[in-house]
Amino acid sequence: MSGAESAGRLLGVTQIGLGVAVLGAPRHVLGSIGAADDSATRVVARVLGIRLVGQGLVVTCVPRADVLRASAVVDVAHAASMVPVAVRWAAHRHAASVSGALAAVAAVAAVVIATRTQRTS
């Protein structure tokens, strides 16, 4: 296994860890980013947690360049979807900004790792 594949797996495991944290302790995670702690927000957080676990499992099991690029597309879509949330709902602005920023960072990491994975194969 190349270093790029190891980095891809690390990204996937990180996504799984974040997803499990959101699923297992949504109130704690929401509180740590200053998000509203109501039942609707916890449901949305859990849906995001499920997506992160699923995405992380795929990336961890198949850390190929094409899979990493697809993961980046999902993260970019999520980051983009947080912009109107932040603009429209002031109560969720901070949480949407944090969530979007994390997704953008994950997307950049996935693209960098995908590029390195392609170079080593």
pLDDT tens, position by position, 58-93: 999 999 999 999 999 999 999 999 999 999 999 889
| Separation of alpha carbons 55 and 94, rounded Å | 24
Structural domain count of the chain: 1
Q: Residue 80: which domain range?
A: 3-120
**Mean pLDDT across 97-105:** 96
Q: Is the pLDDT of residue 34 over 90?
A: no
Q: State the average pLDDT for the chain.
A: 94
| Separation of alpha carbons 15 and 119, rounded Å | 24
| Separation of alpha carbons 102 and 110, rounded Å | 12
- Is the Cβ–Cβ distance between 100 and 78 less than 8 Å? yes
Q: Is the pLDDT of residue 3 over 90?
A: no
pTM of the model: 0.91
Contact residues for 18 (Cβ-Cβ < 8 A; gap 6+): 49, 52, 56, 102
